[in-house]
Amino acid sequence: MHGSLRQWRRAATVLLAVGRAHPGPSPAAAAEDYEILMLQRTQSSGFLPGAHVFPGGVLDTSDSSTDWLQVFKPYHGPPGFGLTSFGRPRESYPEVPFESQTQSHSLIPEDVAHRICAIRETFEESGVLLLHPAGAETLHLPRAFVLPDDLASWRTRVREDPRQFLQLCQRLGCMPNIWALQEWSNWLTPFVKKGGRRYDTKFYICCLQEKPQTFLDMIEAIKCEWLTPTEAIKKFEDEEILLVPPQFYEIRRLTQFAFLSDLHKFCLDRISEGCERWLPITLLTLDGIIQLLPGDELYREDKDFLENNLSIHKKTEEIMGKGKKIHRIVLHSRNNYSIHVTIQPKYKHIYPENYSGFKSHL
């Protein structure tokens, strides 16, 4: 158990969605009226090198520092901090052992700490500051906060020492805009090899009124792109970008919303529903890889598969031919995934539709 204790870490990430001002140049770009922020990780990164991801990162103990109480006072405080979210994963399977990343006996709930983490990491990686000035009125669709030029060096300070984020908020008289983030999903890193780093990552959605300026850090992220969901999928299939399965699944899920206003309303309507937490199980077939998601009839709620792949002496196509309860991502190759879903979503959520490639639709 000791090895795995050091293995699991909590993390948070944000799908930042903003309205697109002008129709895009290609049909793929025009499929949705909004774009999401994607960052390309450096090739030297220890986790997902070169992949396009949403901004985010791992929880720091400072994200649950009791000093945050001062920042939120007198507007919000424990227990709920003005949030109407569910705040914890819906399912009990699987339980994963964490290394300590939160301050013990902190009055900052885990959900709030995750949101602070997501906002801090978004600032570090993209320069976008999701802050709410204390006392300002709450906007239906929030704006990002513009950091005064003379405070630009704070980003480096925060990156070098996450505790500085609290100082920055105090100095600006702002609170992290934890209310602008809506719970969307929760993914556990699937098993790859014994001892490999694994994350329990909360995915939030944040719909913004206007596109904020981004500033790359060139340390964790080397490229920053605003893409419509359909455009991101097309770039992946055209081998221009690399997406890992959870990001691919989430972007496909977003293609169900053509309009930012619908996406925003959907998030608000299910604000207190919470999310399922998913551990994909890798099923190795004779000729390929399938990631099984909870609800799939081949999925096993069995601790053995926390640290093992599943394998079967059949070809992918043989398995796909039959089955009623299906919830899986098929990895055909590095830039060719398909999604198969026949089960009904839970907690007022939506799942992606079946999808087997952009080109196959032409």
Ligand X SMILES: *[C@@H]1O[C@H](CO)[C@@H](O)[C@H](O)[C@H]1NC(C)=O
Residues of this chain that interact with ligand X (CB under 6 A) are 192-193, 237, 282, 284, 289, 309, 320, 326, 332, 336, 340, 342, 354, 357, 359
DSSP 355: B
- Sheet with 310-311, strands from edge to edge, namely 310-311, 281-284, 289-292, 327-333, 336-341
Minimal distance in Å, beta carbon 331 to ligand X? 7
Minimal distance in Å, beta carbon 284 to ligand X? 6
The dihedrals phi and psi of 53, each to the nearest 5 degrees, come to: -135, 170
Minimal distance in Å, beta carbon 89 to ligand X? 23
CA 48, CA 246: separation in Å to the nearest integer?
12
Nearer to ligand X among residue 19 and residue 357 (C-beta)? 357
Nearer to ligand X among residue 151 and residue 192 (C-beta)? 192
CA 155, CA 100: separation in Å to the nearest integer?
25
Nearer to ligand X among residue 287 and residue 301 (C-beta)? 287
Minimal distance in Å, beta carbon 311 to ligand X? 8
| SS3 assignment, position 91 | coil
Q: Which two tokens stand for residue 205?
A: 């959605």
Nearer to ligand X among residue 192 and residue 268 (C-beta)? 192
CA 314, CA 331: separation in Å to the nearest integer?
15
Which of these, 99, 95, 23, 21, lies nearest to 58 by C-alpha position? 99
CA 176, CA 258: separation in Å to the nearest integer?
29
Minimal distance in Å, beta carbon 289 to ligand X? 5
Nearer to ligand X among residue 124 and residue 237 (C-beta)? 237
Nearer to ligand X among residue 135 and residue 321 (C-beta)? 321
Element containing residue 36 per DSSP (H, E): strand 34-41
Minimal distance in Å, beta carbon 359 to ligand X? 4
Size of the chain in residues: 362
Minimal distance in Å, beta carbon 103 to ligand X? 35
CA 114, CA 182: separation in Å to the nearest integer?
12
Nearer to ligand X among residue 81 and residue 191 (C-beta)? 191
Q: Which amino acid is at 71?
A: V
